[in-house]
A and B are shown apart, each in its own frame.
Chain A
């Protein structure tokens, strides 16, 4: 049982560290190679979102045990400007930062559970979970 760990997201290098940590835990709990790749890719998108849209943030990485199957939960949070229209932000191709607009909508397809809480001026929190099969 590993304790939840929090990592900062303040630089491009931090995004790489988040990817590496998520990869190592995903392998540890027995996610398949494809599922490892999916959760690491989602983590990369969400960490970059926090960096680009909010100037940085943090991620809490938690191994979920005790259930039928182990899982990996990642909570990305920032104190940025928040998202005025969450539905719009989740639309494929919608981008405010000149990207491809795949970060949020794409990440949602790569995980088993996806939750986004945000309001203008109150930052953004995205929680994603991937379960071992």
Chain B
């Protein structure tokens, strides 16, 4: 099983998925992220899926799980870089990723997190 590295930049954690995710790697990433949000005190998480060629129901559910989980740990998650073909396929598959914030790219994801925190005071 390959592990996805988690990078820390200020109070944001950045996860850039560069591997073909198997289900074990997906579960490991969820746990690693929960641990790291708490240990680092991060307020935001960005998951970059620019390199991800497919998102099936298992991977899609991971995004929702991570978003809900980090929210409970006082951090917001943004998924960035979804390919158009992936978005089309997800909608037809029946996954709308409710509750998951998305942004077109890393830069917009960071701006979104800053905005969310600004609004929260």
- Give the size category of B's interface with A: 20 to 34
B53 touches A12 (CB 8 A): no
Q: A34-B85, A106-B92 are in contact. Are A44 and B22 (CB under 8 A)?
A: no
Interface pick from A16-24, A55-63, A79-87, A121-129? A16-24
Minimum C-beta distance from A127 to chain B (A): 19
Query: Which residues on B sit within 8 Å (CB–CB) of A38?
Result: 88-89, 92
A106 touches B57 (CB 8 A): yes
Q: Which label, helix, strand, loop or mixed, suits the secondary structure of the B interface?
A: helix
Tell whether A36 is near chain B: CB-to-CB under 8 Å. yes
- Give the size category of A's interface with B: 20 to 34
Tell whether A102 is near chain B: CB-to-CB under 8 Å. yes
Tell whether B104 is near chain A: CB-to-CB under 8 Å. no
B85 touches A33 (CB 8 A): yes
Tell whether A41 is near chain B: CB-to-CB under 8 Å. yes
A45 touches B53 (CB 8 A): no
Chain B interface residues toward A at CB < 8 A:
1, 20-24, 53-58, 60-61, 83-86, 88-89, 92-95
Chain A interface residues toward B at CB < 8 A:
12-13, 15-16, 19-20, 23, 33-34, 36-38, 40-41, 44-45, 48, 92, 99-100, 102-103, 105-107, 109-110
